[in-house]
Structure 1
């Protein structure tokens, strides 16, 4: 039985803690804030409740696996999972719209043909078949196995089987999402649908590798899910599972250093000056925080994937509305920007401020737990903004509300009040500089979108969560917890779940 210190109570860190406790280790979690869940927070006021982090859950099998491996009660006995249908509604810049069915290829093809014209659905359906090939080629190395020592194989190999395209007497194959849109989808609206999955992470589709096609494929193949009461309920359930397995939590306790001896961790130092011994330390923190904790010591060796600093954050506006949620309302509506180039320039840093008319995601859960009564509605608006000082401030909230009026006619007449969550609030919750959000690991692009291994140069120190392999997103956080637990319990020979 080893003593294990876990730094941070984010979802990946708690997933690792629960698994390690079940394996017989003594696990203590040190969290600098007063609560658990990392980005999965909740805001409550006047009987309204809102998720301030992710609002939907892809690939719930990851969390089902955690609950199966750590106790008798399955996930569905701890939270109420609801499959969202339609998966999303899209309002395009030209005024057309489409509701995309959840996890139904035939349904998606029919809906796109009806909304966008004959042939649109078939082109999208054919794209999903190719995206499935990319998923099959990268699923294990990017999600289920520790990062390969020869990670350059993933960095150099493009997994997406692009269709040959003749251009200027040459045969070309799409290497980016933007090129997939232009050469394979051949419709600005289908391109917007594709690129929205990259934009949600602050990725510029013009230089995002074609293998990012796995992002819409994951949603299509495994469905989109909601947790009744909000996704904060998932964080609660994972925290309670940790407690039931004997994990100790110390909230309001900041770790200020990781101590070592003879090339191996020896424990952690706390802000109050005390020290705690540990044979293993699991750090669920952003790269800059980890650098401070090790005092400049080398964490990554030469030739390893370097730590990735995020370039995008999220601006969130919480709306308390009078009036009932209309029957048949889509849970999620994406209002696409009318100025794609301006939005991409803002995200890439070439524009001086966030886009004036960004792509906005509107979440309208059908959930009585979130409202004071049936005559009110709780709505959440989100847009991606650059992760840099001054970007995505409260003054930009009006731009999101204006965009959302396309999805909610009469919105301003119904508005009781609104709250804004800026990148600074994200930084406060997660510790990531400027509120940066980590992206999921993706192949190709020279390894630019890979994340560092869960192991480090310092013996006994492991990293977990969105800033290490396999990157950002709720499924990825749960997978990182499983990988770290496997590496500690089984040792360096661990090769992932089978």
Structure 2
């Protein structure tokens, strides 16, 4: 039985803790805040409740696997998991509206043909076939296996099978997601639909590699799910699973130093000066925090993926509305920006200020547990913003944009609360409230994350700032990978 100290109680960290406890190790989690879940938080006020982090769950199989492997108990026995259908409604700049079914390629093709006109659906369907090929090529190395020692193979090869594009006697293949949209989809609305998947993860589609197509494929192939009561219920269930496996949680206990000797971890030290011995330390904290508390122990060599912390953040506005949610309302509506180029310039450089009319995601869950009674509705708006951005009047812009999706929004509004990047930073410790994106291949390795192992024996990293990157499925897989590396050692090659 090894003594294991886990730094942080985020979702990836708790996933690792539960798996390691089942393997027979003594696990203690040190969390600087007063609760678990990291970015998966909750706001409650006047009988209303809102998720302050993710509002939908892709790839629930990752978390189903955790519950089976740590107790032979289905995830559905611990939370009420509901498939969202339709998966989303989309309002495009020209006023076109498309409502897309969940996990149905044929249904999506039909819906897009009906909304946008043929051959829009067929083009999107053909794109999904190519995206599936990219998914098949990258699923294991980017999600299910520890990062390859020869990671540059992933950095150099573009796995998306782009269609040859002829222009001015030249034949080219798309290397960025924006080029895929322009050359293969050939419809501004389809391009906006595609680029929206990258933007939702804080990626600039103009520079994101073509294989970012897998982000769209994951949704349309495996569907989107909602946890009754909000995604915070998933965090609660994972925390309870940890407790059932005798994982110790020490909240309000900030780790300030990782202790090492002779190239191996020996324990941790907390802010009050207390030290705890450990055979393994698993750090589920952002890059900057880890470098501060571990120093040379995590410094990357030239042959390793460099640690990168730059990423945009989220601005979220929670709305308490009078009046019931109309029957047939889509759980999620994406209101696309009228000027995509201006929005991308504002986010990723070149613009003169915040985008006045950004792409806004509107979540309207059909969940009586989130409202004080049948005559109310809880709505969450979110948009990608630069890390460290102040809310200012930008929250009002989100409400104005959301009015396209929620008729009479201003008249129904009881109150609203704004969650700016500073609140994300407070919950996660990430500078400026940055939110990491999932790992992607190609692009010179720019979107890969550092391996879960470090140069120091016994020190591992978990969560969105390490392999395989950000997002709830990736967090769960990072926990599985780290647990495998601790239990089986360097020969561990991932799930079978």
Structure 2 length as normaliser, TM-score? 0.99
Aligned equivalents of 1:402, 1:350: Cα separation in 2: 25
Residues 97-135 of structure 1 deviation map (CA, whole Å, 9 limit, x = unaligned): 100110011110110001001100000000000000000
Residue 428 of structure 2 corresponds to residue 430 of structure 1:
yes
How far the C-alpha of 1:379 sits from its partner, in A, is 0.0
Residues 46-195 of structure 1: pairs in structure 2 closer than 5 A: 46-195=46-195
2-structure distance, mates of 1:6, 1:30: 6
Distance 2:391 2:408 in 1: 25
In the alignment, does 2:17 pair up with 1:14?
no
- For residues 176-325 of structure 1, the aligned pairs below 5 Å read 176-325=176-325
**Map of 2:41 onto structure 1:** 41
Q: Distance in 1 between matches of 2:298 and 2:111?
A: 53
Verify the 8 A CA contact 1:41 1:52 in the aligned structure 2.
Answer: yes
Q: CA deviation at 1:168?
A: 1.3
Deviation by residue 1:437-481 (Cα, 9 ceiling, x = unmatched): 000000000000000000000110000000000000000000000
Find the aligned partners of 2:441 and 2:302 in 1 and give their Cα distance: 20
Is the Cα contact below 8 Å between 2:297 and 2:455 reproduced in 1?
no
Residues 96 and 116, structure 1, Cα contact 8 Å, conserved in 2: yes
1:350 Cα deviation from its structure 2 partner: 2.3
Shift of 1:300: 2.1
Whole-Å separation in 1 of the counterparts to 2:209 and 2:72: 41
Query: What's the offset of the Cα at 1:74?
Result: 1.1
Q: Choose 424-433 or 391-400, whichever is displaced more.
A: 391-400
SS of structure 1 residue aligned to 2:432: helix
Deviation at 1:352, TM superposition (A): 4.0
CA contact (8 A) 2:297 2:454 kept: no
SS of match in other structure, 1:294: helix
Distance in 2 between residues matched to 1:454 and 1:350, nearest whole Å: 35
Q: CA deviation at 1:298?
A: 4.4
Where does 1:272-421 land on structure 2 (aligned, <5 Å)?
272-387=272-387, 389=388, 391-421=389-419
Q: 2:98 is paired with a residue of what secondary structure?
A: strand
CA RMSD of aligned residues (A): 0.8
User: How many correspondences in the alignment?
Assistant: 496
- Rounded Cα–Cα distance in structure 2 between residues aligned with 1:392 and 1:190: 31
Task: Give yes or no for contact 1:394–1:422 (8 Å, CA) kept in 2.
Answer: no
TM-score (norm 1): 0.99
Unaligned 5+ runs, structure 2: none
Q: Which runs of 5+ in 1 are unaligned?
A: none
* Deviation (angstroms), 1:296: 4.3
Contact 1:314–1:392, Cα closer than 8 Å, also in 2: no
**Is the deviation greater in 338-347 or in 369-378?**
338-347
SS in 2 for 1:229: coil
Query: Matched residue of 1:295: which SS?
Result: helix
Deviates more, 1:289-298 or 1:273-282: 289-298
339-348 or 41-50, which moves further after superposition? 339-348
Q: Which moved more, 1:462-471 or 1:296-305?
A: 296-305
- Matches of 1:286 and 1:195, distance apart in 2: 26
CA–CA distance in structure 2, aligned partners of residues 485 and 299 of structure 1: 22
